[in-house]
Structure 1
Amino acid sequence: MNPEFERDLGITRRQFFGKSATGIGMAALASLLGEETVHAHSPFAKPEGVGGGAAGGRLDAGGNAKAKRVVVLWQGGAPSHVDLFDYKPGLEKLRGTDVPDSVRKGTRLSTMTSGLKKFPVLPSIKPFKAYGKSGMMLSELLPHIGSLADDICLIHSMHTEAVNHAPGVTFLLTGSQIPGRPSMGAWATYGLGSMSKDLPAFVVMTSTDTGRTCGQLFYDYYWGSGFLPSKFQGVRFRSEGEPVLYLKNPDGLPDGLRRKQLDDIGALNAQHLSEYGDPEIETRISQYELAYKMQASVPDLLAIEKEPAHILERYGKDVHRPGSYARNCLLARRLLERGVRFVQLMHSGWDQHGNLPTQLAEQCRDTDQSSAALILDLKERGLLDDTIVLWASEFGRTPFVQGDMTKAAYGRDHLGSVYSMWACGGGFKGGYVHGASDDFAYNPVKDPMDGHDLQATILHQLGIDHTKLTYRFQGRDFRLTDVFGTVQKKLIV
């Protein structure tokens, strides 16, 4: 735009096109296509439904929602399904022999083992036992989760194309191996909105083991909003210092003056929003208000000393250590009962390429008790029926050894062709084992499913048809499951 023209009009080039996009241009398009059509696909359209969700009854999955909330217990680094979940007693007789070529059949492996000439079988390092009335077979390393076997839906047939951590995590949490798509929590809160007035709809907390194993980095796009308005991204609670930065009033600023300051800023933002219709301005308005409310709600949330002693003991001694997985599990329960829609706990330390016997046992001690405690707490409070608890990771581990199994430094490499995870609550069948792998725990042989199938099933339990929860971006309608995904009816009631 000519600078003199900008001066005469009293607007900048940016303002001119901004006004045009929501003014004459949008009006003209509406007259051609019909008002309802345009605004249904406009990224500036205000979400419908209770609590700011986009569903508004239009995305119903064909029945009443079984779940209202989701908590993801992410086990970063890939726990060994061979050692924890997928019982293969026949592998003991094959110890040290090669996994046959016919089983491996060109399966993609990481560069750490793809060039090997030998693939010696390493059976489970600890015994399995039957748990619950269902007789579910789990490792003795997981006694607390095992005690809840009749509540758990154990999936043995997950698979993924990814063999490296970041692409694997990104795929399961966003539907694409390439960063930039909205996360599952962002899609859920976009579709359903918030149930809490003074806490975010989507909260993330991270933890790692106590430095014994290789920890994976947690990138913010694992809980990002991608091309959705940023108000749907996860709010990360920090493990040290203030859980959320800048919640406190600046020194010397009394609360009354802070309230007046926010009102004035809100009025200016509202005027700007009416002129441009930019959803990020709406986000700014809502987040200022939410932050103000969180000044009171967050300290109360974090006051775990108010919990009865037997509840604290249930989560284990690490519950008293800020930033621990146990503390985060307890905070997850407190968030869920306060109306938070989606909670994502990211825990690292499962990447056992070496010293598997010691490190796997330590990692299970860090997570087993508190994972089970969260389920018990939800169950006692009547929240498990409508809360999905998902214990998941990016892929599994190889049934062949990495390193020298005659020495303590051996481990297992990444395996995406088949692995295990579990879910419970929110209408997932308890005491049920879904799918199966082959005799080497290397390939799925029954009811295979991938991340898109899991995402479709979770959205279905939340009452949303995954094919209808879309958002128009760069000329096409995107969804969490891309163009894939099948609801796995066998998993759910």
Structure 2
Amino acid sequence: MDDLTRELKFTETRRGFLKKASLGFGSIALSSMLAPTTGYAKDLFLGNSGNGMGGVLNGTHFPARAKRVIYLFQSGGPSQLETFDYKPQLAKWHGKEIPPSVQGTQRNSGMVSDQSTFPLVKSIYDFKQYGQSGAWVSEIFPHTAKVVDDLCIIKSMRTEAINHEPAVMFVQTGSQQSGRPSIGSWLSYGLGSDNKDLPNFVVMLSKGGGAQPLSSSAWANGFLPSHHQGVQFRSGKDPVLYLNNPHGVHDHDRRRALDYIAELNNQQYDIWKDPEIQSKINQYEMAYKMQSSVPDAVDVSQEPDHIYKLYGEDARTPGTYAYNCLQARRLAEKDVKFIQLYHMGWDQHGGLPSGIKRQAMSTDQATAGLIQDLKQRGLLEDTLVVWGGEFGRTSFSQGRLTATNYGRDHHPGCFTMWMAGAGVKPGMVYGETDEFSYNVIQNEVHVHDFQATLLHLLGIDHERLNFKHQGRRYRLTDVHGHVVKDILA
């Protein structure tokens, strides 16, 4: 036994003291709570068990239609009334009070608690039908209108949260409270990676998107091992912070240092059986691989001019939504499992007509360009693209209503999302809301149903991908969720 091993073995810790001090069956129970994983966990976290790609599943539960996901999250809650849910009857009700029978028992946020009247307001934007599907699309989305036959537009989404952060957490993690794993983390944990040189789960945020903050809990690993958390790619010279070697440190020196650190960590693991030690080893190794793989993956400088014409000139500017969409296509080509884009700024409590038009102008062409680019490369066949926010907006005006200006409050009762690509019926409009776009009247899709369907498209039974934590088995959909089979191709 060398000096290092001896020191590690005999170093006293709280865990070691409790294990020694406890007797009988109580000690067995206590040690199982403090160190719930044993030798099996070491194999699992090293990728020696499961599907051979670092995931815990021995293959998918059934054939997968999607190999990867690009999730275009429009943070702030885009108004369905100005985008995809055309309600011409609102013109007759414009300026009139919303009927109590329509409002029912649905909650309003605290931001309209002192509002005495709730006048209904029509959208100032025109809608037209497009494609063979005849889907209604607002004039603020001229580029998306061109690809409408590739989309499955779901108008009957419903959530349970009425404020931003709980609503974002709910759609991203299945819980309104922070601390649960995000969708990307669950997929990393279950399926592992198809590219060992890049993270399973990549996150990109548009710069200058809006003032509504986003918490990193939305892409966190929760109680899953920490190497399943989303890796944020930033705009600028260094996409991943602290990835490059310090000045004067060469690659072979870094390799030797990592090997020695891994040896020390493995000795620690053999003694304490803490799976987070294996997560640290995985993270160090991934960082080393990313030093060479990330610069190539995010270098869009060699893209031809016709690609920039497709996505828009903003795609030349790092950090823009268009630039991130182009990067998402490059990462999809390299088989990154889950690519999450966040674009903030859709929270229009006032000045909605100008605000939402500005948001559409910064995202519409790049979104449609991404669909077209994936399709022309044959990637849309096994890439699932998702577009949507955390909730919708009210059909009544928040604050003062004028001829050209109004706002809309948060509305969890109904909102619109769309999906495209692998395994989803193209050119479909699913679900229906009432004439005020206030209540779902046909084919409601709860957030947990959406999550169950997303996992299904990746070949996962949402009830069978779970993780035991604090004595209970957790899953993305909690104890709810049904696959929306009507939208499956």
Give the structure-1-normalised TM-score: 0.91
Write the letter of the residue equivalent to 1:53: G
| Matched ranges for 1:293-308 at <5 A | 293-308=289-304
Counterpart Cα distance in 1 of 2:250 and 2:476: 44
Counterpart Cα distance in 1 of 2:476 and 2:411: 24
| Matched ranges for 1:71-220 at <5 A | 71-209=70-208, 214-220=210-216
Matched, 1:410 2:406: yes
Counterpart Cα distance in 2 of 1:18 and 1:346: 45
Partner of 1:462: 458
Cα offset, 1:277, TM superposition: 2.3
Distance 1:167 1:38, change over 3 A: closer
Counterpart Cα distance in 1 of 2:52 and 2:114: 55
Q: Report % sequence identity.
A: 49
Write the letter of the residue equivalent to 2:193: S
1:122-163 deviations in Å (ceiling 9; x for gaps): 112201011111111110111111111111000011111211
Partner of 2:418: 422
1:340 to 336, 343, 348: 336
SS of the residue corresponding to residue 427 of structure 1 reads coil
Cα offset, 1:256, TM superposition: 1.7
Partner of 1:266: 262
Partner of 1:51: 53
Is the Cα–Cα contact under 8 Å of residues 67 and 388 in structure 1 kept in the other structure?
yes
Is the Cα–Cα contact under 8 Å of residues 44 and 278 in structure 1 kept in the other structure?
no
SS of the residue corresponding to residue 445 of structure 2 reads coil
Counterpart Cα distance in 2 of 1:41 and 1:471: 15
Matched, 1:14 2:14: yes
Give the structure-2-normalised TM-score: 0.92
Distance 1:20 1:416, change over 3 A: farther
Structure 2, unaligned runs of 5 or more:
1-6
Distance 1:39 1:107, change over 3 A: same
1:282 to 274, 278, 282: 278
Is the Cα–Cα contact under 8 Å of residues 37 and 274 in structure 2 kept in the other structure?
no
Write the letter of the residue equivalent to 1:137: W
Structure 1, unaligned runs of 5 or more:
1-6
Cα offset, 1:171, TM superposition: 0.2
Partner of 1:3: none
Is the Cα–Cα contact under 8 Å of residues 39 and 45 in structure 1 kept in the other structure?
no
Counterpart Cα distance in 1 of 2:176 and 2:65: 29
Counterpart Cα distance in 2 of 1:131 and 1:298: 39
The count of aligned residue pairs is: 473
Is the Cα–Cα contact under 8 Å of residues 115 and 399 in structure 2 kept in the other structure?
no
Write the letter of the residue equivalent to 1:118: T
Distance 1:42 1:472, change over 3 A: farther
Cα offset, 1:403, TM superposition: 2.3
Is the Cα–Cα contact under 8 Å of residues 52 and 193 in structure 1 kept in the other structure?
yes
Cα offset, 1:116, TM superposition: 2.7
SS of the residue corresponding to residue 82 of structure 1 reads helix
Is the Cα–Cα contact under 8 Å of residues 205 and 346 in structure 1 kept in the other structure?
yes
Partner of 1:473: 469
SS of the residue corresponding to residue 205 of structure 1 reads strand
Cα offset, 1:404, TM superposition: 2.2
Counterpart Cα distance in 2 of 1:118 and 1:41: 62
Is the Cα–Cα contact under 8 Å of residues 54 and 191 in structure 1 kept in the other structure?
yes
Is the Cα–Cα contact under 8 Å of residues 319 and 327 in structure 1 kept in the other structure?
yes
Cα offset, 1:347, TM superposition: 0.7
Cα offset, 1:40, TM superposition: 11
Distance 1:25 1:203, change over 3 A: farther
Q: How well do the aligned residues superpose, as a CA RMSD in angstroms?
A: 2.5
Cα offset, 1:10, TM superposition: 2.9
Counterpart Cα distance in 2 of 1:145 and 1:50: 39
1:355 to 348, 351, 373: 351
Distance 1:441 1:238, change over 3 A: same
Cα offset, 1:209, TM superposition: 4.4
SS of the residue corresponding to residue 157 of structure 1 reads strand
SS of the residue corresponding to residue 421 of structure 1 reads strand
Counterpart Cα distance in 2 of 1:173 and 1:406: 36
SS of the residue corresponding to residue 129 of structure 1 reads strand
Distance 1:19 1:274, change over 3 A: farther
Counterpart Cα distance in 1 of 2:428 and 2:207: 30
Is the Cα–Cα contact under 8 Å of residues 44 and 54 in structure 2 kept in the other structure?
no
Is the Cα–Cα contact under 8 Å of residues 395 and 414 in structure 1 kept in the other structure?
yes
Cα offset, 1:273, TM superposition: 2.0
Matched, 1:400 2:396: yes
SS of the residue corresponding to residue 206 of structure 2 reads strand
SS of the residue corresponding to residue 314 of structure 2 reads helix
Distance 1:445 1:40, change over 3 A: farther
Cα offset, 1:408, TM superposition: 5.0
1:30-49 deviations in Å (ceiling 9; x for gaps): xx9xxxx9979979854511
Partner of 2:449: 453
Distance 1:452 1:41, change over 3 A: farther
Partner of 1:391: 387
